[in-house]
Structure 1
């Protein structure tokens, strides 16, 4: 019989780690407005897959991998920071397409949408440490020797929770899409681009400051 307490906690953890407004939320909102709900939701799934990877590390107690991720954390964050800067510039310059043309023009871009948010999520090892802390503090969800079934169930629940968050975001934002003019969408792209670049510059700047401090 499924452990519904474990499943519920896993789903809630997935929602909690996905909810904070940051570059991934911003990207999913922007892609939903530019390309439609499907593209926005698929973008969110990239982040959900990244969350599931970190949840796997925490739930299965993969200490060696966890230590490695922390050891190369600065390099991963630097990659993520430069990736954000490039993505922000692209977003700023991009002209949104008409939603009627979305299915024809963006089908081949779904894989790229998943990869972009997955890279941004996986290059933030602090998320993995957050999972370890959350799992350890919620009813003893992580033990020194968790069963494979328990750990696997928890990882799946985290993925589902994260995916549900992105589904809710894209459905909500999608309701506003048809009410916006092309000029409004272009303005949103400009603002989103500036904010995404700002996130990237902040990450790089913080790493430089920490290295010289």
Structure 2
């Protein structure tokens, strides 16, 4: 049990840790409205990782079919979501502190959930685990049901750390610096979208 939990934690951390679209959204939203919004964003992606871990454990035989039939559609949907999010961030005006209307946590959760659900960078590691699980004995499987909460913990811990670190710089950023951050974040998200769509 403990070994499976640790394996899941390391897997969730390793999938989340490369600085991609979700980490970027956590940073941008934490600076915009505080660390809790960044954590809500990361939690949406972490829940998707938990779902894919469950899929890898119980649906290994479906992995190849899923990838072959829906891989291109998933990639294009992910690209479109990233480009839309990037455009919205790029066009957002820095809010005045007195009139700041904070995005809601459930909206941040839902948007990152949607991006992670369709992001090949999130899907592929768990499909690889599922494919390997289909070729070995159940007793030697790399993941078990106890790995699912580990995946959630590992991914959430990474996104919480990123959000907390980003929020520390929030009070020291001027309106001009926030505008530059939005432009950079929006451009990078659009770039991620184009990279995913053109693969």
TM-score band (shorter)?
Answer: 0.7 to 0.9
Would the alpha carbon gap of residues 136 and 73 (structure 1) be closer, same or farther in structure 2, given more than 3 Å must change? Answer: closer
Pair 1:174-2:167 in alignment? yes
Structure 1 residues 48 and 98: CA distance shift in structure 2, 3 A? farther
- Corresponding position: 1:161 with 2:154: yes
Task: Please report how far the alpha carbon of residue 119 of structure 1 lies from its aligned counterpart in structure 2 after TM superposition.
Answer: 1.4
Counterpart Cα distance in 2 of 1:133 and 1:32: 32
Per the alignment, residue 113 of structure 1 pairs with 108
Contact 2:56–2:129 (8 Å) recurs in 1: no
> C-alpha separation between the residues in 2 aligned to 1:38 and 1:100?
19
Residue 188 of structure 1: how far off its partner (Å): 0.2
Q: Aligned residue pairs: how many? A: 196
Alignment TM-score, normalising by the size of structure 1: 0.81
Shift of 1:94: 0.7
Displacement of 1:132 in angstroms is 4.5
Taking a change above 3 Å as real, the CA distance of residues 134 and 100 of structure 1, as seen in their structure-2 partners, is: farther
**Superimposed CA distance per residue, residues 13-60 of structure 1 (whole angstroms, 9 cap, x where no aligned partner):** 111100011111111111111111000110001110111111111122
Name the CA distance, whole Å, in 2 between partners of 1:112 and 1:69. 29
Partner residue of 2:191 out of 184, 195, 198: 198
**Distance in 2 between residues matched to 1:116 and 1:25, nearest whole Å:** 13
TM (normalized to structure 2)?
A: 0.86
Alpha-carbon separation, structure 2, partners of 1:117 and 1:99: 25
The answer to whether the Cα contact below 8 Å between 2:75 and 2:118 also exists between their aligned partners in 1 is yes
1:11 maps to which residue?
A: 9
Q: Is the 8 A contact 1:35 1:96 kept in 2?
A: no
Partner of 1:93: 91
Q: Distance in 2 between matches of 1:156 and 1:50?
A: 12
- The answer for unaligned runs of 5 or more in structure 2 is none
Give the 3-state SS of the residue equivalent to 1:88 in structure 2: helix
RMSD: 2.6
Structure-2 change in CA distance of 1:64 and 1:135 (3 Å): closer
Structure 1 residue runs without a partner (length 5+): 207-213
